[in-house]
Copies of this chain bind each other. A is one copy, B any other.
Amino acid sequence: MPKLEDVAKLAQVSKTTVSRVLNRRGYLSKETIDKVNQAVKELNYHPNVVARQLYNNKTDLIGLLFPTVANPFFGELTANLEHYLYQKGYKVLIGNSINDPQKEADYLDQLLVKQVDGLIVGTHNQGISQYHNDNLPIVAIDRVMNQDIPIIASDNYAGGKLAVEHLLVQGARKIIHINGPQELATPAQKRRAAYEDVMHDHHLQPITYEVDFNISNTDKLKVFRQIFVEHPDVEAIFASNDLDAALIMQIARERRLRVPRDLLLVGYDGTQTVQSVWPQLTTVIQPIEFMAQKAVTVLQNRLHNQATQSEYLLPVQLHVGTTC
């Protein structure tokens, strides 16, 4: 692997001159520029990125910490984040933390140390202390970290309201909601608040099941089956996300419940993948692309020490399919 010195030798100029040509600084004649470029091409020389990173004290890398890109919501989010970050000259390092707080802490430990210039996080684990780090600009998506870390989220309260009110309009009364554990501080809890508010407004009893996002589908199915055992008269379910809605659908089939006749179903997220494969699902669409764009903008503000708000709420949209 050729280095700067080799280029200098071949072009018969000094290291300094080569560096000047590559970085366009100082006075340079056309001839030397050509000579150097010629040598660069001949040797197929590329400056060593790591050496530059060391001197410049930045890597142009942004870390993304999310549960898993196997989930279409995080997959699409990651794809969009990568897109916008690439436009700004950053590359993307990913860390999937699903179900493994140790792994998340590990990643943090390593990334916080000059490996990345900034971090965008949306993990679902609790009690990671390293986030209290002033050195590294961090932005959270759909996750409450601490005061210093700005949050990008869709308008979960509005989304919850849209979903529940739609269910009520469709005539459902016994509506059950699924959400993550309350200890986990996520903006998604606002859907629960919306759900409970709307139910109370209609003098209905809210019933919320708390299900950990990280558990396996098999375990989720067990919990969801329990819902139908404990509430055989359930008329509608407002699920945490579209994949959970799919599991509910699976159970509905097991129990020979026809959707929407016997059971109404609303999901959440509205990823393009699920929209494409299961357009019948009524769901609340989060503006994934917009969230990614906003996260990148806010992160860049942080990187440039510009002021940012502590929270950014983006609008959601109800997609009405045939499941309710």
| Interface set of A (CB-CB < 8 Å, partner B) | 1, 46-51, 53-54, 59, 61, 68-72, 75-76, 78-80, 82-83, 86, 91-96, 103, 107, 109-110, 112-115, 135, 217, 242-243, 246-247, 250, 272-274, 276-279
Contacts and interface: CB of A to CB of B under 8 A. Distances in A.
A276 B243 contact: yes
Contacts of A109: 46
Contact of A76 (B59, B70, B92): B70
A131 to B, nearest CB: 14
B1 A50 contact: no
A128 to B, nearest CB: 15
Contacts of A71: 75, 273
B82 A96 contact: yes
29 contacts: A1-B135, A48-B54, A48-B114, A49-B113, A49-B115, A50-B50, A50-B53, A50-B59, A53-B53, A69-B78, A69-B79, A71-B75, A71-B273, A72-B75, A75-B75, A82-B94, A83-B96, A86-B95, A91-B93, A91-B110, A92-B94, A92-B95, A93-B93, A93-B94, A242-B277, A243-B277, A250-B276, A250-B279, A277-B278
B91 A92 contact: no
Contacts of A250: 276, 279
Given A82-B95, A92-B93, A113-B48, A247 B272 contact: no
Count copies of this chain in the complex. 2
Given A53-B53, A82-B95, 5 more contacts: A46-B112, A46-B113, A61-B93, A92-B93, A242-B277
A239 to B, nearest CB: 12
Nearest to A76: B70
A256 B297 CA distance: 45
